Amino acid sequence: MNFSKMHGLSNDFMIIETITQKISLTSKKIQTLSDRYKGVGFDQLLLVEKSFNSGIEFNYRIFNSDGSEVEQCGNGARCFALFVYLKGLTKNKKIFVSTKKGILILKILKNNLVRVNMGKPNFLPKEIPLLTKIFKTKYSLFIKEKKIYFGAVSIGNPHCVITVNDINTKIVSELSPLIQKNDFFPNSVNVGFMEIINSEKIKLRVYERGSNETKSCGSGACAAVAVGIKQNILSNKVSVELKGGKLEILWKKENDVIYMTGLAEHVYDGSIYL
């Protein structure tokens, strides 16, 4: 099986195209491949599939390192775009792909920058989903006898965003697994911790479903900015600083789509016998 290793701000991926090769992957195989000592090693595995929808070039599937399939991955989307272009699977620099949650529009810019139309942020509790019928800009839960306040949104996948004074707080690793297991989030949730520098700049750490904390999370960056704008504490254009680098997020108005721009990097090509 041929594959490529890529990363978006150190959020790393194994990318496999199933257009010219036939493969069969189970959750157990994905877990084996994700092992950084005995396998290839990655945060997520991305599959490039042929689309059967008119006007859509590819189908985009995402699997976490634990083998679970998820709906969205923003950093992966940028790498997906660069991969299909570098491999000659498309000559277009504006690429339409389908996901489990809808259509993404990927645009390759100069110097390996890729802009992704991530769709419209969805704050409806049933769509995130949350175990409540009432929308709030801030929800609260008791975790380890401590009241936690957070915003919640779907960027094709569920996110909760907690504002902290210092991003280097140890509660990231302490609280995230407990929040993800809480019944308030029926499908679990990606947990973001946002430190606000000013209205146009934030720092962010994200504890992802099925992958623990990653060095960057594109959908998490979009979620944090969307929640911050909804809470009237952020501007429409925000620079998001993650452990792996920076993303630029633009959300002009609430009924509009949200855009993410950042680097995608090809690391190497390889082949492996399963």
Residues identified as active-site:
73, 217
Residue 230, helix vs strand vs coil: helix
**How many other CB atoms are there within 10 angstroms of residue 126's CB atom?**
12
C-alpha torsion 12→191→180→219, nearest 10: -50
Residue 63, helix vs strand vs coil: strand
| Residue corresponding to tokens 């570098």 | 86
CB 64 within 8 A of CB 188: no
Residue 153, helix vs strand vs coil: strand
Tokens of 120: 């419209």
Find, among 243, 226, 176, the residue nearest to 11 by Cα: 243
**How many other CB atoms are there within 10 angstroms of residue 234's CB atom?**
23
| Residue corresponding to tokens 């199933």 | 18
Q: For residue 121, is the peptide bond before it cis, meaning its omega torsion is within 30 degrees of 0?
A: no
Tokens of 164: 């902290």
What's the CA angle centered on 69, arms 239 and 116, to 5 degrees?
A: 30
What is the C-alpha to C-alpha distance for residues 115 and 81, in angstroms, rounded to an integer? Answer: 10
What is the C-alpha to C-alpha distance for residues 202 and 200, in angstroms, rounded to an integer? Answer: 7
What is the C-alpha to C-alpha distance for residues 151 and 9, in angstroms, rounded to an integer? Answer: 25
